[in-house]
Structure 1
Amino acid sequence: MELPLVKVLCITLVVSGLVKLVALGAGWGLVRLKVAERWRVYRRELAPGQLRSEAWAAVGVVLCDALLVGLFRYFVGHRMAPFSVPVALLSYAWMFVGFEVWFYVTHRLLHTRALYRFHAQHHVAQVTDPLTSLSFSLVERLVLMGGGFGLVLLAMEVMPIAQAGVMAYILTNYFLNVIGHGNTEWLPRRFVSSWLGRLFFTPTFHALHHARYQGHYGLFTVVLDGWFGTAFEDYPRVHARAREGQGLVRIGERLSAAEVPEPLPATTGAGVGGAS
């Protein structure tokens, strides 16, 4: 028996809200670990009023997501294919690759003068924190969610798509967004030059986007930024600095090719934002 729309929306709000809360809680827990203090990408305080602004935006995002996902599930959910491992994996891969392209294109457009006002809320954070992962204007959130729904609808026309694969991607998206906005570099120095690092992002990669505004438009991969020339040349050096406990202290700071970070013998004590 099909649930009434109001009940579907309420269930979606509770589940979606709890998932986001768990992701945020995990993110805040990680960045407050003693070991994380050493690996800050930017050793600066958050901007005055940043957390308050991001919290209000996050409330709107949680409500917006619940409404849109609930409506989509109610009207389109019956078209999903029955679960099977191959279909779920194919669905996950489709969403991951497709949303990377959608995000890169729309992100670059939102950085144009005509559209930036819809993206400005996300850039309240020059130095990011886990809550930045939910800090969007409603217009931008509609663009992002619309891309996700569009990918599902398009897939339904050409192949089976399983709810499990789509949901697995959504969970990946939530948790990696929190990690990526944590201003803490968890991955070792060798990662950036490895084959994995030539495909996938790091927290440093996205921290540079927030500090510099232009460049590093990708979501969880670095591929499109490499192809279209929007990657920062000093990204590997900034990553190495963060891992050596020598995170940047100036927003506009660029590292020259000659700059090689030296390992620090002891952990540097900096709070969530680091030293100002």
Structure 2
Amino acid sequence: MVQGFLKLLPVVLAVSGAIKVSVLGLGWGVSHLKSAERLRVYRRALAPGQLRSEARAALVVIVGDALLISVFRAYQRELFAPFTWTATLLTFAWMFVTFEVWFYVTHRLMHTRALYWMHAQHHVAQVTNPLTSLSFSLVERFVLLGGAFLFLAAAGTFMPITQVGVLLYILTNYTLNVLAHGNTEWFPERFVQSWAGRLFFTTTFHAMHHARHQGHYGLFTPMLDRWLGTAFDDYPQVHARARAGNGLERMGERIRPEASTPTLTPTVPVSGVGAP
């Protein structure tokens, strides 16, 4: 087992690191296009020292992910079934749904006073950028990935799991995470109120979480936030402002859904959690 882990680690580090850096580089380039500048959700500069802090955290995450993936792969060699399209799609769907639930629950818990220390690194960014997608503490990253792998191992007891399905989900997760943190709203205004917008997130959805700290705890879907009462009422209006090239300029700015005039409310987090 240990020997298998040691053989896997450099391969996983190279592949996982290359995927992360490639997707991040693409996202960085897209977010700095002239068209992206017009579609900012929050029209604010990054905090002093933010990129330096996020870059350090990203390097730790790249190594930490490789360690955890290698351990899981070495000790769960018998988990994976031969490739079939059905098993691959089931694997992807299982990971998407279970990780959404796991992320919402742990993310919301990490916004309590007792556990916020795990999550504070991610909130170095009030205004996000693609690098924020890899800015986590090692403890938080292990909680997130560890939960995903536990659900995966559990699934292997009653359904076939394929490596391709896992890789497809990981690639999707990395890509959507960069999109979520790009602070650029690419989806049209009508998307939010459409059936697709009720199922899937936008960049605005997650940008509002970073600006306000409480609410919008979901990852790639707003469904759990709507069902559990943690969705912001002015999400459609903030999204529309970004699409119109009139993104918010103040972190505490909120827009009453029934009015067009923005209002200011303090961004003091609930549950005693302080801003980073």
TM-score by length of 1: 0.92
Q: Percent identity?
A: 65
Using the TM superposition, give the Cα deviation of residue 257 of structure 1 relative to its aligned residue in structure 2, in angstroms: 2.5
**2:180 aligned with 1:180, yes or no?**
yes
CA contact (8 A) 1:13 1:66 kept: yes
Output the amino acid matched with 1:154.
A
Please give the alpha-carbon distance, in whole angstroms, between the structure 2 residues aligned to 1:5 and 1:235: 45
Please give the alpha-carbon distance, in whole angstroms, between the structure 1 residues aligned to 2:210 and 2:171: 23
Paired residue secondary structure (2:157): helix
Using the TM superposition, give the Cα deviation of residue 128 of structure 1 relative to its aligned residue in structure 2, in angstroms: 0.2
Please give the alpha-carbon distance, in whole angstroms, between the structure 2 residues aligned to 1:145 and 1:5: 17
1:2-61 CA distances to partner (integer Å, 9 max, x unpaired)?
x84322100000001000000100110110111111100000000000000000111110
Paired residue secondary structure (1:254): strand
**2:62 aligned with 1:52, yes or no?**
no
Output the amino acid matched with 2:156.
M
Paired residue secondary structure (2:230): coil
Paired residue secondary structure (1:15): helix
Please give the alpha-carbon distance, in whole angstroms, between the structure 2 residues aligned to 1:112 and 1:157: 34
**2:202 aligned with 1:199, yes or no?**
no
Output the amino acid matched with 1:104.
Y
Aligned to 1:74: 74
CA contact (8 A) 1:17 1:62 kept: yes
Aligned to 2:273: none
CA contact (8 A) 2:79 2:153 kept: no
CA contact (8 A) 2:122 2:136 kept: yes
Output the amino acid matched with 2:112.
T
Aligned to 2:117: 117
Using the TM superposition, give the Cα deviation of residue 75 of structure 1 relative to its aligned residue in structure 2, in angstroms: 1.7
Using the TM superposition, give the Cα deviation of residue 160 of structure 1 relative to its aligned residue in structure 2, in angstroms: 1.1
Please give the alpha-carbon distance, in whole angstroms, between the structure 2 residues aligned to 1:77 and 1:112: 37
Output the amino acid matched with 1:71.
V
Using the TM superposition, give the Cα deviation of residue 77 of structure 1 relative to its aligned residue in structure 2, in angstroms: 2.8
Please give the alpha-carbon distance, in whole angstroms, between the structure 1 residues aligned to 2:176 and 2:76: 27
CA contact (8 A) 2:129 2:183 kept: yes
Output the amino acid matched with 2:199.
L
Q: Which has the higher contact order (CA 8 A, sep 6+)?
A: 1
1:155-191 CA distances to partner (integer Å, 9 max, x unpaired)?
0112111111111001000000001000000000000
Please give the alpha-carbon distance, in whole angstroms, between the structure 1 residues aligned to 2:77 and 2:171: 18
TM-score by length of 2: 0.92
Please give the alpha-carbon distance, in whole angstroms, between the structure 1 residues aligned to 2:5 and 2:38: 48
Aligned to 1:104: 104
Q: How does 1:110-259 map onto structure 2 within 5 Å? A: 110-259=110-259
Give the 3 Å change call, closer, same or farther, for CA 74–233 of structure 1 in structure 2: same
Using the TM superposition, give the Cα deviation of residue 260 of structure 1 relative to its aligned residue in structure 2, in angstroms: 4.3
Please give the alpha-carbon distance, in whole angstroms, between the structure 2 residues aligned to 1:106 and 1:5: 28
CA contact (8 A) 1:88 1:165 kept: yes
* Paired positions, count: 259
Aligned to 1:93: 93
**Tell me, which stretches of 5 or more residues in structure 2 are unaligned?**
262-276
CA contact (8 A) 1:237 1:259 kept: no
Using the TM superposition, give the Cα deviation of residue 258 of structure 1 relative to its aligned residue in structure 2, in angstroms: 4.1
C-alpha RMSD over aligned residues: 1.1
Please give the alpha-carbon distance, in whole angstroms, between the structure 2 residues aligned to 1:240 and 1:231: 16
